[in-house]
Structure 1
Amino acid sequence: MSRNALLFAVMCLVWGLTWLPVKVGATHVPPVFLAAARFLIAGLAMLVWAGRDVLKVPASARWRLLGTALLLNTGNYTLLFWGTAHAPTGLAAIVNFATIPIFTLLASRAIEGQAINGRKIAAIVLGTVGLVFLFASRAMGGLNVAQGDPLEAWGLAAVAAGTLLYCVGAVLSRPIAGAMPTLTLAGWQTLIGGIGLAIMSLSLERVGLADVRALGQWPVLPAVVFLVIGGSLMGFTIYMRLLRDWGAFRAGLYAFVSPAIAVGVGVAALGEPFGWAEAVGAFLMFGAAAIALKR
């Protein structure tokens, strides 16, 4: 196995496992507060890592940097962490990973005017049908809803909405991506997004001193450490290397591996339901992602 192949396996494993600490941490502290802690710490770490490049932000890029940070991290992760707190982690991962290629197509069309050909239309339609299957049992008040959180359907919808914000922010980030070092851009977007998450948490959640203390206690502390080191620092670094060496298509294949890991961990560790409707929906969404990612 080549070094990049090994790194790809590590990245898929880490990103597949991040959903479990989100779920565990959100049962002990408010979910948006948990997201704020993760991104504030990760953003500071990235900027320290950037070193002398930390101030290499052109004045012409500052407003776009601010806006994309609020979309990519504040808006996205407010919805994603809240949604994951109420929805099964495996299904949340499928909705998130599998819709990224589809929402990116739509955002590129709306913002940049990129054409959507027949293949891309097929991906959008197939992904939409897959989402319908994932939501079916919950939207109709089926068995999974009765056994789980009554807000599961809303949780999955929040994850989908957050993913859409992420894709819009990613497309809007393209014009400034080459204007500064990658780690500088990611560090400032992460830190600004973390500040926005902290504001959202204070506005929407009841956060007290007990929640702040819980960040340094079991099981929230290991959850935050894993999310910062594994999800943000390791995952981001490996992904950027694979983008350089493999290109966007091969690096993007994590969208098929990480959700499967998340589903397996959710079923094994948390006893989350995964029936035929979820399986059909996942299959269709992975097929849509494959079509969208095709060269």
Structure 2
Amino acid sequence: MSEASLADAAGRRPAESSRIFAFLLMAFIWGAGWLPTKLAMEVLPPIFFACLRFSFAALGFLVLARLRGFTLRVEQPGRVLAASMLITTACYALVFWGLAQAPSGLAAVVNLGLIPIFLIGIGAAYRQEPITPLRVAAIILGLAGLSLLFSSRLGTGGEGGQAAIGLAAVALGTFAYAWGTVISRPLVRVTPPVVLAFWQSGLGTLGLIPISLAVEGWDPARFAALPDPRVLQGLAVMVGGGSLIAFPIFLMLLRDWGAFRAGLYAFVSPVIAVLIGYAFAGERIDMAEAVGMAVTLAATALALGRPRRTTT
């Protein structure tokens, strides 16, 4: 290896380390948001809660963009609109509705397991992602780990055809999320992540509002429930952490890593969520779940690794 190549490799290592740290921070924040979100949705309907979350997030992103002196102008506004409707509107409407119809554990496996599959498949269709044996092996390993992780909840809730329709909605919402993520990559290369996040949160909310009204109806009493500590905590975690911190990290990783590697949080966040449930909600972890956590983390480590290049 030449001296120039050695210097270039040495320069890339710190940058890659910082990206891995950012990835772990993002996965931790989104995993930590599961319990507060679950508690908040004991008070408010899920799509209504999503409307609140992304409305506040859009305002937060607007403030951050202005403070940093960014213009809100974007390239390819049609693509921005399409990505917003897919990532925020279609994903949250379909996945939340499906979760209410199907067993929660099985729905989680379908959602999280399909994220890397759809990301690499759609990414390959757009010529953004290579499908390699290593990545396929990581996906299979991750699916096995998720199945073990949620094994105790695979059969609880939902029944018959209703559950099947719910799982289909979860799968379709996951597909929408993956598609929106892939078509966002060219956008984030020319648009600051905080600006793109503003548009995707704001436009996505405009799409969610009529869906919430159609599916969940209108009840002014919901606004009276906003001071409930569960709602405030859920919004604080998911707006302050999940949106304002984690989502721009995701867009940055999408730009630098591609959709598949950035989407590997789907194998890490559920581990964080289970551990937080164990530490703060008195939830138990059995042997199958412990093994599942180890397997999903191993799948993530396998997929995050880059093949070594041989240079002469």
> What TM-score does the superposition give when structure 2 sets the normalisation length?
0.72
Q: Whole-Å Cα distance in 2 between the matches of residues 236 and 112 of structure 1?
A: 24
Deviations 1:13-43 (A, max 9, x none): 4322111111011111100100111001101
Q: 2:184 pairs with 169, 173, 181, which one?
A: 173
- Structure 1 residue 57 and structure 2 residue 74: aligned? yes
Which segment drifts farther, 149-158 or 271-280?
149-158
> How far 1:119 moved relative to its partner?
2.2
Show the counterpart of 1:264. Answer: 275
Q: 2:206 aligns with which of 186, 192, 195?
A: 195
Residue type at the aligned position of 1:292: A
Which is higher, the Rg of structure 1 or of structure 2? Answer: 2
Considering Cα pairs closer than 8 Å and 6+ residues apart, tell me whether 1 or 2 has the greater RCO. 1
Select the residue among 132, 135, 141 that pairs with 1:126. 141
Structure 1 residue 131, shift from structure 2 partner: 5.3
| Other-structure match for 1:184 | 195
* Match status 1:44 vs 2:59: yes
Give the SS at the match of 1:41. helix
Question: Which 5+ residue runs of structure 1 have no aligned equivalent?
Answer: none
Does 2:173 match 1:162?
yes
Distance 1:250 1:63 in 2: 26
Deviation per CA, 1:22-76, whole angstroms, max 9, x where unpaired?
1011111100100111001101221232125343213xx1111111101111122
Which segment drifts farther, 92-101 or 208-217? 92-101
Which one of the candidate residues 87, 101, 104 is aligned to 2:119? 104
CA distance in 2, matches of 1:205, 1:153: 19
Alpha-carbon distance in 1 for matches of 2:280, 2:43 = 17
- 1:14 and 2:29 equivalent? yes
What corresponds to 2:132 in structure 1?
A: 117
1:232 paired to 2:247: no
SS at structure 1 position matched to 2:43? coil
Contact residue 102 and residue 158 of structure 2 kept, 8 A? no
TM-score of the superposition, structure 1-length normalised?
A: 0.76
Instruction: Encode CA deviations 1:160-179: one digit per residue, 9 max, x unaligned.
Output: 54333222111111222223
SS across alignment from 1:169: helix
Superposed CA offset, 1:154-200 (max 9, x none): 77775554333222111111222223222211110111111112121
Mean alpha-carbon deviation: is it higher for 190-199 or for 160-169?
A: 160-169
Mean Cα deviation higher: 157-166 or 36-45: 157-166
SS at match of 1:55: coil
Q: Distance in 2 between matches of 1:67 and 1:113?
A: 18
Percent sequence identity over aligned pairs = 44
Contact 2:109 2:143 in 1 (8 A): no
Partner SS, residue 196 of structure 2: helix
- What's the counterpart of residue 76 of structure 1? 91
Give the number of aligned pairs. Answer: 284
Which consecutive residues of structure 2, in runs of 5 or more, have no partner in the other structure?
1-13, 307-312
Task: Give the structure 2 partner of residue 204 of structure 1.
Answer: 215
1:24 counterpart SS class:
helix
Deviation at 1:100, TM superposition (A): 3.6
